[in-house]
Structure 1
Protein backbone atom coordinates (compact mmCIF):
# COMPACT_ATOMS: atom_id res chain seq x y z
CA UNK A 1 0.00 0.00 0.00
CA UNK A 2 1.35 3.40 -0.91
CA UNK A 3 1.38 6.45 1.33
CA UNK A 4 -1.21 8.06 -0.97
CA UNK A 5 -3.50 5.07 -0.45
CA UNK A 6 -2.95 5.39 3.31
CA UNK A 7 -4.05 9.02 3.09
CA UNK A 8 -7.08 8.01 1.02
CA UNK A 9 -8.03 5.40 3.61
CA UNK A 10 -7.64 7.86 6.50
CA UNK A 11 -9.66 10.46 4.60
CA UNK A 12 -12.39 7.87 4.13
CA UNK A 13 -12.36 7.14 7.87
CA UNK A 14 -12.71 10.90 8.49
CA UNK A 15 -15.77 10.98 6.23
CA UNK A 16 -17.46 8.19 8.19
CA UNK A 17 -16.32 9.40 11.62
CA UNK A 18 -16.39 13.19 12.08
CA UNK A 19 -14.24 13.04 15.23
CA UNK A 20 -11.39 11.34 13.31
CA UNK A 21 -8.69 13.84 12.36
CA UNK A 22 -6.14 13.29 9.62
CA UNK A 23 -2.71 14.86 9.98
CA UNK A 24 0.75 14.17 8.59
CA UNK A 25 1.93 12.32 11.70
CA UNK A 26 -1.08 10.01 11.56
CA UNK A 27 -0.52 9.36 7.85
CA UNK A 28 3.14 8.49 8.47
CA UNK A 29 2.55 6.21 11.46
CA UNK A 30 -0.45 4.44 9.97
CA UNK A 31 1.48 3.92 6.73
CA UNK A 32 4.29 2.16 8.64
CA UNK A 33 1.75 -0.25 10.11
CA UNK A 34 -0.35 -0.76 6.98
CA UNK A 35 2.12 -0.71 4.08
CA UNK A 36 2.26 -4.51 3.79
CA UNK A 37 -1.51 -4.79 3.26
CA UNK A 38 -3.50 -4.04 0.13
CA UNK A 39 -5.73 -0.98 -0.03
CA UNK A 40 -8.67 -3.04 -1.26
CA UNK A 41 -8.46 -5.43 1.69
CA UNK A 42 -8.29 -2.58 4.21
CA UNK A 43 -11.11 -0.67 2.55
CA UNK A 44 -13.29 -3.79 2.72
CA UNK A 45 -12.45 -4.21 6.41
CA UNK A 46 -13.21 -0.52 7.00
CA UNK A 47 -16.65 -0.86 5.41
CA UNK A 48 -17.38 -3.86 7.61
CA UNK A 49 -16.22 -1.88 10.65
CA UNK A 50 -18.39 1.11 9.71
CA UNK A 51 -21.43 -1.14 9.55
CA UNK A 52 -20.72 -2.55 13.01
CA UNK A 53 -19.27 0.27 15.10
CA UNK A 54 -20.01 3.93 15.83
CA UNK A 55 -16.33 4.47 16.75
CA UNK A 56 -13.39 5.02 14.39
CA UNK A 57 -11.26 1.91 13.82
CA UNK A 58 -7.83 1.32 15.28
CA UNK A 59 -5.11 -0.10 13.04
CA UNK A 60 -5.60 -3.57 14.53
CA UNK A 61 -9.30 -3.51 13.68
CA UNK A 62 -8.57 -2.78 10.03
CA UNK A 63 -6.03 -5.55 9.59
CA UNK A 64 -8.05 -8.27 11.31
CA UNK A 65 -8.78 -11.26 9.18
CA UNK A 66 -12.37 -12.09 8.60
CA UNK A 67 -13.68 -14.52 11.13
CA UNK A 68 -14.90 -17.79 9.78
CA UNK A 69 -18.37 -18.68 10.92
CA UNK A 70 -17.94 -22.01 12.64
CA UNK A 71 -21.66 -22.67 12.51
CA UNK A 72 -21.77 -22.58 8.74
CA UNK A 73 -23.38 -25.66 7.28
CA UNK A 74 -21.59 -26.97 4.20
CA UNK A 75 -23.57 -27.23 0.99
CA UNK A 76 -24.24 -30.53 -0.73
CA UNK A 77 -21.31 -29.92 -3.10
CA UNK A 78 -18.93 -29.09 -0.24
CA UNK A 79 -20.05 -32.17 1.69
CA UNK A 80 -19.54 -34.38 -1.38
CA UNK A 81 -16.02 -33.00 -1.80
CA UNK A 82 -15.22 -33.64 1.85
CA UNK A 83 -16.47 -37.21 1.65
CA UNK A 84 -14.47 -37.92 -1.49
CA UNK A 85 -11.21 -36.65 -0.03
CA UNK A 86 -8.86 -39.51 0.60
CA UNK A 87 -7.44 -39.59 4.08
CA UNK A 88 -4.49 -41.63 5.15
CA UNK A 89 -5.24 -43.69 8.27
CA UNK A 90 -2.92 -43.40 11.24
CA UNK A 91 -0.36 -46.13 11.83
CA UNK A 92 -1.34 -48.71 14.41
CA UNK A 93 1.62 -47.72 16.61
CA UNK A 94 0.37 -44.12 16.71
CA UNK A 95 -3.15 -45.27 17.52
CA UNK A 96 -1.90 -47.48 20.32
CA UNK A 97 0.24 -44.66 21.75
CA UNK A 98 -2.73 -42.26 21.78
CA UNK A 99 -4.97 -44.86 23.38
CA UNK A 100 -2.36 -45.38 26.07
CA UNK A 101 -2.29 -41.64 26.75
CA UNK A 102 -6.08 -41.61 27.12
CA UNK A 103 -5.96 -44.59 29.46
CA UNK A 104 -3.41 -42.89 31.68
CA UNK A 105 -5.44 -39.66 31.76
CA UNK A 106 -8.60 -41.57 32.66
CA UNK A 107 -6.68 -43.85 35.01
CA UNK A 108 -7.81 -46.99 33.19
CA UNK A 109 -5.68 -50.08 33.74
CA UNK A 110 -5.64 -52.91 31.23
CA UNK A 111 -5.32 -56.37 32.65
Structure 2
Protein backbone atom coordinates (compact mmCIF):
# COMPACT_ATOMS: atom_id res chain seq x y z
CA UNK A 1 0.00 0.00 0.00
CA UNK A 2 1.41 3.36 -0.99
CA UNK A 3 1.08 6.57 1.00
CA UNK A 4 -1.27 7.91 -1.68
CA UNK A 5 -3.52 4.86 -1.19
CA UNK A 6 -3.43 5.47 2.57
CA UNK A 7 -4.58 9.04 1.95
CA UNK A 8 -7.36 7.80 -0.35
CA UNK A 9 -8.53 5.35 2.30
CA UNK A 10 -8.53 8.03 5.01
CA UNK A 11 -10.38 10.42 2.69
CA UNK A 12 -13.01 7.72 2.14
CA UNK A 13 -13.40 7.35 5.91
CA UNK A 14 -13.87 11.12 6.14
CA UNK A 15 -16.65 10.92 3.53
CA UNK A 16 -18.53 8.33 5.58
CA UNK A 17 -17.80 9.91 8.98
CA UNK A 18 -17.94 13.70 9.16
CA UNK A 19 -16.11 13.82 12.51
CA UNK A 20 -13.06 12.01 11.04
CA UNK A 21 -10.30 14.47 10.19
CA UNK A 22 -7.48 13.75 7.77
CA UNK A 23 -4.13 15.45 8.32
CA UNK A 24 -0.53 14.70 7.36
CA UNK A 25 0.38 13.26 10.73
CA UNK A 26 -2.54 10.81 10.59
CA UNK A 27 -1.61 9.81 7.03
CA UNK A 28 2.01 9.15 8.08
CA UNK A 29 1.13 7.10 11.16
CA UNK A 30 -1.64 5.09 9.54
CA UNK A 31 0.63 4.36 6.55
CA UNK A 32 3.34 3.12 8.90
CA UNK A 33 0.97 0.41 10.16
CA UNK A 34 -0.99 -0.31 6.98
CA UNK A 35 1.79 -0.28 4.38
CA UNK A 36 2.10 -4.08 4.25
CA UNK A 37 -1.61 -4.63 3.65
CA UNK A 38 -3.59 -4.67 0.43
CA UNK A 39 -5.65 -1.54 -0.08
CA UNK A 40 -8.59 -3.46 -1.53
CA UNK A 41 -8.82 -5.71 1.57
CA UNK A 42 -8.80 -2.65 3.83
CA UNK A 43 -11.41 -0.94 1.66
CA UNK A 44 -13.71 -3.98 1.87
CA UNK A 45 -13.29 -4.07 5.66
CA UNK A 46 -14.10 -0.35 5.76
CA UNK A 47 -17.32 -0.93 3.81
CA UNK A 48 -18.31 -3.70 6.21
CA UNK A 49 -17.55 -1.41 9.16
CA UNK A 50 -19.64 1.42 7.71
CA UNK A 51 -22.65 -0.88 7.46
CA UNK A 52 -22.68 -1.66 11.19
CA UNK A 53 -21.02 1.20 13.06
CA UNK A 54 -21.84 4.89 13.45
CA UNK A 55 -18.26 5.51 14.64
CA UNK A 56 -15.13 5.89 12.50
CA UNK A 57 -12.97 2.77 12.33
CA UNK A 58 -9.72 2.30 14.16
CA UNK A 59 -6.80 0.70 12.36
CA UNK A 60 -7.61 -2.64 14.00
CA UNK A 61 -11.15 -2.47 12.60
CA UNK A 62 -9.78 -2.28 9.08
CA UNK A 63 -7.22 -5.05 9.58
CA UNK A 64 -9.55 -7.67 11.04
CA UNK A 65 -9.74 -11.08 9.44
CA UNK A 66 -12.92 -12.52 8.05
CA UNK A 67 -15.32 -14.06 10.55
CA UNK A 68 -14.98 -17.50 8.95
CA UNK A 69 -11.28 -17.60 9.74
CA UNK A 70 -11.38 -16.15 13.22
CA UNK A 71 -14.25 -18.34 14.41
CA UNK A 72 -12.91 -21.63 13.12
CA UNK A 73 -12.96 -24.24 15.87
CA UNK A 74 -10.45 -27.06 15.51
CA UNK A 75 -11.73 -30.62 15.74
CA UNK A 76 -9.97 -33.41 17.64
CA UNK A 77 -7.63 -34.18 14.72
CA UNK A 78 -6.47 -30.55 14.54
CA UNK A 79 -6.10 -30.38 18.32
CA UNK A 80 -3.87 -33.46 18.31
CA UNK A 81 -1.25 -31.45 16.45
CA UNK A 82 -1.69 -28.39 18.67
CA UNK A 83 -1.62 -30.14 22.06
CA UNK A 84 1.06 -32.82 22.18
CA UNK A 85 0.44 -35.81 24.39
CA UNK A 86 3.35 -35.72 26.81
CA UNK A 87 1.91 -37.68 29.74
CA UNK A 88 2.16 -41.35 30.40
CA UNK A 89 -0.26 -43.35 32.53
CA UNK A 90 0.60 -44.07 36.16
CA UNK A 91 1.81 -47.50 37.14
CA UNK A 92 -0.61 -49.94 38.78
CA UNK A 93 1.10 -49.49 42.16
CA UNK A 94 0.61 -45.72 42.07
CA UNK A 95 -3.04 -46.10 41.06
CA UNK A 96 -3.74 -48.55 43.92
CA UNK A 97 -1.91 -46.34 46.44
CA UNK A 98 -3.99 -43.29 45.41
CA UNK A 99 -7.21 -45.32 45.57
CA UNK A 100 -6.27 -46.49 49.07
CA UNK A 101 -5.74 -42.85 50.13
CA UNK A 102 -9.14 -41.86 48.77
CA UNK A 103 -10.83 -44.79 50.56
CA UNK A 104 -9.16 -43.75 53.82
CA UNK A 105 -10.26 -40.12 53.42
CA UNK A 106 -13.83 -41.18 52.63
CA UNK A 107 -13.92 -43.78 55.40
CA UNK A 108 -14.53 -46.71 53.07
CA UNK A 109 -13.49 -50.12 54.33
CA UNK A 110 -13.05 -52.69 51.59
CA UNK A 111 -15.04 -55.87 51.83
CA UNK A 112 -18.04 -54.29 53.59
CA UNK A 113 -21.42 -54.11 51.94
Question: TM-score, normalising length from structure 2?
Answer: 0.63
- Tell me which stretches of 4 or more aligned residues in structure 1 moved more than 2 Å: 97-101
The whole-number CA distance in structure 1 between the counterparts of 2:67 and 2:89 is 36
Unaligned segments of structure 1, at least 5 residues: 71-86, 102-108
Task: Tell me how large the CA RMSD over aligned residues is.
Answer: 2.8
Larger Rg: 2
State the match for 1:60 in structure 2: 60
Query: Counterpart of 2:27 in 1: which secondary structure?
Result: helix
After TM superposition, the score normalised by the length of structure 1 is: 0.64
* Residues 3-53 of structure 1, C-alpha deviations (whole Å, 9 max, x = no match): 000000000000000000000000000000000000000000000000010
Secondary structure of 1:65's counterpart equals coil
Kindly state the Cα deviation for residue 67 of structure 1 after the two structures are TM-superposed. Answer: 1.3
**Correspondence for 1:40:** 40
For residue 15 of structure 1, what is the aligned residue in structure 2? 15
Q: Which stretches in structure 2 are left out of the alignment for 5+ residues?
A: 97-113
